[in-house]
């Protein structure tokens, strides 16, 4: 689960990591109350589950009621990289002396947590050359390690102490919440010499959700995603017009790549999964039928344990019930694919022997 900034900051507060005074809201009535409580000036920050919102204009200073009335609705209705605003955070500005970077992430190849810290913060960490990287095992970060990291990024005395405390709290949060990433960027040194987390990003392990009831309130799924999860397939929605369906994450990704290579714009990444049934594929088609932007469906199946006839049956039902009226371009391989092709012969599904031909067809249809 990728927590929004305000949710990450709620966790920071719970673990004793200092953040600026802030209040979150989802509508302007609540926002007005928050503005009064917080007092001008403050910043309005859109809450979206993607990076780069500063550049996209998603963070605005606000000095008065007039400005608030103008900017709040603007920010509430904006979307960044296709992601709609989920909430608005009003936050007091901090008197910043210097910005640092700190994160703990799960190092997949080393299979341990790793600290990244830098004396340069407030920008994307990938662009920072000056990084301190420490692998720290699976347990809590000890004081000695934290101290060494503090020294390496040039912190001394009281700031070193504050940093050590903050890093140890962040480590506790990471372990207790089973986070894959917990990032403070920027971690500010304020004019008064104290340290404060100005922005936060936390990603937790979805597979551990069953033992973290306390995080369920942060789960922000669209109706579509929820229905997809219930049926056991994975779905990522995009703003293109070709619905890409297949079985197996790798195969669907590869199909997605080829569609884009050939000038097509995917509307979905839809993996029906290893346990696909006629019902679950029918549900997938139901979801796609609701997406008005979709102009064509591309199906790429490699039947293994999931039979291609299982999927073909769902298409037949969808045609019979007038659920879909879109052209379908399909390539079926593997288990029972000859039978599946026969089943779909007199339908709107066009069969292709190679995925490349199917893609050419769907891209031409979508770009008409």
β-bridge partners, 47? 87
The end-to-end CA distance of the chain, in Å, is 38
How far apart are the C-alpha atoms of 207 and 291, rounded to whole Å? Answer: 28
**Binding flag, residue 139, other proteins (CB under 8 A):** no
β-strands 179-190, 96-107 pairing: antiparallel
CB of 178 to other proteins, least distance (A): 6
Q: Which of 16, 57, 139, 274 binds other proteins (CB under 8 A)?
A: 274
In the complex, least distance from residue 250 CB atom to other proteins, rounded to whole angstroms: 2
**Is residue 216 involved in binding other proteins (CB under 8 A)?**
no
Nearer to other proteins, 93 or 305 (CB): 305
- # residues contacting other proteins (CB under 8 A): 53
> At its nearest, how many Å lie between other proteins and the CB of residue 57?
19
**Binding marks (x or -) toward other proteins, 147..176, rule CB under 8 A?**
------------------------------
Which residue in the set 59, 123, 251, 326 belongs to the binding site for other proteins (CB under 8 A)? Answer: 251
Q: Which one of 29, 95, 126, 325 is in contact with other proteins (CB under 8 A)?
A: 126
Q: Between 349 and 368, how does the x/- string for binding to other proteins read (CB under 8 A)?
A: -----xxx------------
List % helix, strand, coil for the chain (3-state, nearest 5). 40, 25, 35
How near is the Cβ of 30 to other proteins at its closest, in Å? 28
DSSP 85: P
180 scored as a contact of other proteins (CB under 8 A): yes
Contacting range for other proteins; rule: CB under 8 A; set: 12-20, 25-33, 144-152, 252-260: 252-260
Decide: 152 and 145 in contact? Cβ < 8 Å.
no
Phi, psi of 150 (to 5 degrees): -55, -45
176 is catalytic: no
Does 234 interact with other proteins (rule: CB under 8 A)? yes
What are the DSSP E strand ranges found in the chain?
A: 22-25, 42-47, 59-62, 79-80, 83-84, 87-91, 96-107, 112-118, 131-135, 179-190, 195-197, 200-204, 234-237, 242-246, 266-271, 296-303, 328-334, 349-351
Query: Which residue among the candidates 10, 91, 183, 313 is catalytic per the annotation?
Result: 183
User: In whole angstroms, how close is the CB of 330 to other proteins at the nearest point?
Assistant: 15
Q: Does 122 bind other proteins (CB under 8 A)?
A: no
Residues in 89-118 at the binding interface with other proteins, rule: CB under 8 A: 106, 108-109, 111
Token pair 């994160």: residue: 103
Q: Is the separation of the CB atoms in 23 and 37 below 8 Å? A: yes
Bond before 290 cis per omega within 30 degrees: no
**Interatomic CA distance for residues 264 and 257, integer angstroms:** 10
Instruction: Yes or no: say if 276 and 305 are a contact pair by the CB < 8 Å rule.
Output: no
Within residues 30-69, the interface with other proteins by CB under 8 A covers 49-51
Q: Does the protein bind other proteins through residue 247 (CB under 8 A)?
A: yes
Contact 327, 297 (CB under 8 A): yes
Active site (annotated) includes residue 101: yes
* Sign of the CA dihedral with 120 first, then 123, 126, and 127 last: negative
By CB under 8 A, name the one of 68, 269, 315, 329 that touches other proteins: 269
Residue closer to other proteins by CB (options 256, 319) is 256
**Residue whose token pair is 């990433």:** 181
Residues that bind other proteins (CB under 8 A): 2, 49-51, 81, 106, 108-109, 111, 124-126, 138, 178, 180-181, 205-208, 210-211, 234, 236, 238, 246-254, 256-261, 269, 271, 274, 302-305, 333-335, 354-356
State the catalytic residues. Answer: 101, 183
């Amino acid at each position: 689960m990728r927590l929004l900034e305000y949710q990450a900051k709620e966790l920071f507060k719970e673990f004793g990591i200092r953040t600026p005074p802030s209040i979150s809201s989802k509508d302007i009535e609540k926002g007005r109350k928050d503005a009064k409580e917080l007092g001008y000036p403050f910043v309005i920050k859109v809450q979206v589950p993607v990076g780069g919102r500063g550049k996209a204009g998603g963070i605005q200073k606000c000095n008065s009621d007039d400005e608030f009335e103008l900017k709040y609705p603007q920010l509430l209705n904006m979307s960044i990289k296709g992601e709609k605003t989920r909430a608005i955070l009003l936050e007091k500005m901090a008197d910043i002396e210097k910005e640092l970077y700190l994160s703990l992430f799960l190092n997949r190849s080393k299979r341990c947590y790793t600290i990244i810290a830098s004396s340069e913060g407030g920008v994307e960490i990938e662009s920072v050359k000056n990084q301190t990287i420490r692998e720290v095992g699976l347990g809590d970060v000890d004081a000695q390690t934290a101290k060494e990291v503090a020294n390496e990024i040039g912190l001394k005395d009281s700031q070193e102490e504050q940093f050590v405390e903050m890093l140890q709290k962040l480590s506790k949060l990471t372990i207790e919440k089973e986070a894959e990433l917990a990032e403070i960027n920027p971690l500010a040194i304020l004019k008064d010499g104290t340290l404060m987390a100005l922005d936060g990003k936390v990603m937790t392990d979805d597979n551990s959700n069953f033992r973290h009831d306390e995080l369920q309130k942060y789960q922000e799924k669209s109706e579509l995603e929820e229905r997809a999860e219930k049926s056991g397939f994975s779905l990522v929605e995009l703003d293109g017009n070709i619905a890409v369906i297949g079985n197996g994450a790798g195969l669907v990704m590869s199909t997605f790549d080829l569609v884009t290579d050939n000038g097509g714009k995917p509307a979905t990444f839809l993996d029906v999964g290893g346990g696909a049934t006629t019902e679950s594929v029918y549900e997938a088609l139901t979801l796609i039928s609701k997406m008005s932007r979709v102009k064509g469906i591309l199906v790429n199946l490699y039947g293994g344990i999931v039979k291609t006839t299982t999927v073909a049956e769902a298409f037949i039902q969808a045609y019979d019930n007038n659920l879909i009226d879109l052209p379908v371009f399909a390539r079926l391989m593997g288990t029972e694919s000859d039978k599946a092709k026969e089943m779909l012969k007199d339908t709107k599904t066009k069969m292709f022997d190679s995925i490349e031909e199917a893609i050419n067809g769907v891209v031409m249809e979508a770009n008409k």
